[in-house]
Every structure is written in structure tokens, then in C-alpha cells.
């Protein structure tokens, strides 16, 4: 045996024939773990502490059902044998089928209502997360599926967020915060990254008493409201800057490196330009919260502590902070 090769784990179980319910429960658990069945009652997985714990739990469950169970470490006899084990966990076919599902689902996006799109996104996200969880040897197929998934999510988000502003080329005048307090602010409904971050910025650093109106269409913006993040709004994309960054520049908040770094995160997710390590995590949390919220007021409420935490994180690294619970210091 080649001791340099990774170990594998083998669960061998035998259940009494009269334990149909227990047999089905254990079979479903084995399937959820992505086990490879070498034969009936013999299941293979890569070695890891997490998977060993899961297989140990199933072994205990088998014994409680009146069956027998053995959990074994397996050492491949050769590199060829190890490769044969790995080949049993090739998820290329599963990823190809998932991509086909995405392609079919994409055809329904233009005509689907927002609740239907959210349900579709939740269902497919569960399918994708389930597949990724049992992909123990990710490779080209997983990378290709990830790109397809991100493109699909962006397409759905665009459908849910019609009216993305086009950047204008203009100077950004410096404004006094004291002239922009206790105002009504308006932006497009179904908040996504730039709009929810801008709303957080407004309430935390510009107008602690801000009232927000979520617009079905930019044309519905009240005359007395300060619009943001739509074409023709008081604050929108300028050059390479997204609305969040335009607000920073407008109100002299672009000296706060914590906010500048948060602005870079918003720009990455809104335009795809740049790289911020925390961006993917924030996008995932925002997507999850958005799927479970009753409306944009609730969404802003739920996302606020996350943005507070990101700002504190960025500020502690930069050593600068103007945040004092609602208005700039």
C-alpha cells in the first residue's frame, strides 16, 4: 500500500428487512452525503472529520434500528486505485444537468412575476448548494457551473431591478450635510446592493431621520423627494463611481477609508469592477435576506447590522472611523 495516498472511509451496514422506515431514512441520509455505493450496504466517502462524524451517526442509527454497522478506514493500494475511488465522485454529469436546468429556467425570466422569480431563485439555489456540498473534488465542471450560476443570478437580479442607471459624466459638487436632514429620499423598490448600501449610508451618516420611498418606477418619484440610484436622480452613477461612492464624494465622506472600502465592495457587486474579498459573502447574505423579507423596509432593517459590521471591520483595519451611531463625527 502507498502510505502517501489519502485515506478513505467505508460504512458497511445491514438492516433487518422489517425496518422499511429506518432503511429509507438512512438511505436518504447517505444520498445527502453523496456516498458512493460500492454494493448494497457498502458506502464510500473521502476521509474527513466532518464526514466521519456523519457516517458515525448513521452507524449508530443503524444499530438502533436493530441492524449492524462497521465504519472502516480504507487505504488505497495504489495511485490507480485512489484515482478509481475519486472517479466515483465525478460530478460533471450533475453539473451539466444543472446547467441545462438553468438554461431552461432562463427562458421564463422575462415573463415571470417577481414572487415567481424569487421562488425560482430559492429553489435553484438550494439545488446548487446541495450539489456543491457533495462535490468533494471540484474541478473544471464545478468552475463552469459556478460561472453559469452567477450569470443566472445576475440575470434574475436584473429582472427584479429594472431601471439600473446609466453613468453620467459630470462634476460632483460638495454639499453640506446640514442642508440634507429630515428629508424624504426615494429609490427603486426591490433593493439590491447599491441602493440598500446607499440607504444605509444616508441614514447612518447624512440624514438620521431620513424617510424612504420605494418606487415602482422612477417616474413615480415625488417632487419633494431626493432621488438616488436611477437616471435623473439627484444622486446616481457618475463616471466609474456607483451611487454609494457619489454620496461619499458629495458629502465629504470620502476621507473615511472604512466607507471608501465599503464603497469599493458595492462597486464590485454593482458593476463587476475590482475585487474585495468580503464582497461574495455580503452578496450571499443579502440574497438570502432578500428572499425572506416582507418588503424593502424590512430588508433595510435586516441588512443594517451587516453593513454596520462591515464598516467597523474596514475601519478597524484602516484605523479611521467617523461613525457615531447615525451622523458623521
- How is the chain split into domains, by residue range? 8-87, 92-160, 177-318
Calculate ∠ Cα 313-273-243, nearest 5°. Answer: 70
Q: Which three cell numbers stand for residue 210?
A: 431620513
Phi then psi for residue 17, to 5 deg, are -65, -20
DSSP tag of 164: P
pLDDT at 79 over 70: yes
In total, the chain counts a number of residues equal to 329
Q: Are strands 226-227 and 184-188 parallel, antiparallel or unpaired?
A: parallel
Q: Out of 128-132, 133-137, 188-192, 299-303, which region has the weakest mean confidence (pLDDT)? A: 188-192
Mean pLDDT of 164-170: 87
The string of DSSP codes covering 69-113 is EEEEEE--SSHHHHHHHHHTT--HHHHHHHHHHHHHHHTTGGG--
Which range among 156-165, 248-257, 279-288 shows the weakest confidence by mean pLDDT?
156-165
User: How far apart (Å, rounded) are the C-alpha atoms in residues 148 and 76?
Assistant: 35
- Taking the C-alpha atoms of residue 126 and residue 123, their distance in angstroms, rounded to an integer, is 5
Cell 451496514 belongs to residue? 13
Do 68 and 59 contact (CB within 8 A), yes or no?
no
Question: Residue 324 has what pLDDT?
Answer: 38
328 has a pLDDT exceeding 70: no
pLDDT at 121: 87
- CA end-to-end span of the chain: 67
DSSP state of 24: H
214 contacts 188 by C-beta, under 8 angstroms: yes
Q: What is the pTM of this model?
A: 0.56
pLDDT recorded at residue 319: 41
pLDDT of residue 322: 43
- 317 pLDDT above the threshold of 80: no
CATH pick for 8-87 out of 3.40.50.2300, 3.30.70.930, 3.40.1190.20, 3.40.640.10 = 3.30.70.930
Write down the pLDDT at residue 241.
Answer: 95
Alpha carbon 269 to its chain centroid, in Å, reads 11
Tell me the average pLDDT across 66-89.
93
* Predicted pLDDT of residue 323: 40
pLDDT computed for residue 114 by the predictor: 67
Using one digit for the tens of pLDDT, what is the confidence trace for 24-44? 999 999 999 999 999 999 999
Tell me the Ramachandran region of residue 283: left when phi exceeds 0, alpha when psi lies from -120 to 50, beta otherwise. alpha
Q: Could you tell me which residue, 114 or 116, shows the higher pLDDT?
A: 116
List, for residues 40-70, the tens digit of each pLDDT value.
Answer: 999 999 999 999 999 999 999 999 999 999 9
pLDDT of residue 299: 95
pLDDT of 128 over the 70 cut: yes
Amino acid at each position: 500500500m502507498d502510505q502517501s495516498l489519502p485515506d478513505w472511509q467505508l460504512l458497511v451496514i445491514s438492516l433487518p428487512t422489517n425496518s422499511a422506515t429506518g432503511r429509507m431514512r438512512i438511505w436518504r441520509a447517505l444520498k445527502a452525503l453523496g456516498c458512493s455505493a460500492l454494493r448494497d450496504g457498502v458506502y464510500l466517502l473521502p476521509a474527513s472529520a466532518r464526514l466521519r462524524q456523519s457516517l458515525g451517526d448513521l452507524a449508530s442509527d443503524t444499530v438502533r434500528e436493530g441492524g449492524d454497522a462497521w465504519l472502516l478506514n480504507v487505504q488505497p493500494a495504489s495511485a490507480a486505485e485512489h484515482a478509481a475511488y475519486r472517479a466515483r465522485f465525478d460530478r460533471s454529469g450533475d453539473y451539466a444537468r444543472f446547467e441545462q436546468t438553468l438554461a431552461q429556467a432562463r427562458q421564463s425570466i422575462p415573463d415571470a412575476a417577481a414572487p415567481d422569480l424569487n421562488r425560482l431563485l430559492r429553489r435553484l439555489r438550494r439545488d446548487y448548494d446541495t450539489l456543491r456540498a457533495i462535490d468533494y473534488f471540484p474541478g473544471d465542471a464545478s468552475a463552469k457551473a459556478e460561472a453559469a450560476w452567477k450569470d443566472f443570478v445576475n440575470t434574475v437580479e436584473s429582472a427584479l431591478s429594472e431601471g439600473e442607471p446609466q453613468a453620467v459624466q459630470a462634476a460632483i459638487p460638495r454639499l453640506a450635510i446640514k442642508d440634507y436632514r429630515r428629508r424624504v429620499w426615494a429609490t427603486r423598490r426591490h433593493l439590491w446592493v447599491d441602493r440598500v448600501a446607499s440607504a444605509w449610508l444616508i441614514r447612518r451618516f447624512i440624514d438620521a431621520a431620513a424617510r424612504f420611498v420605494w418606487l415602482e418606477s422612477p417616474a413615480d418619484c415625488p417632487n419633494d423627494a431626493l432621488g438616488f440610484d436611477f437616471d435623473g436622480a439627484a444622486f446616481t452613477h457618475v463616471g466609474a463611481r456607483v451611487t454609494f461612492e457619489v454620496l461619499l464624494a458629495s458629502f465629504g465622506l470620502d476621507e473615511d477609508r472604512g466607507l471608501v472600502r465599503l464603497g469599493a465592495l458595492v462597486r464590485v457587486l454593482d458593476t463587476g469592477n475590482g475585487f474585495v474579498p468580503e464582497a461574495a459573502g455580503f452578496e450571499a447574505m443579502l440574497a438570502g435576506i432578500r428572499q425572506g423579507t416582507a418588503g424593502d423596509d424590512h430588508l433595510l432593517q435586516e441588512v443594517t447590522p451587516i453593513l454596520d459590521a462591515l464598516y467597523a471591520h474596514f475601519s478597524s483595519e484602516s484605523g479611521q472611523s467617523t461613525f457615531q451611531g447615525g451622523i458623521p463625527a
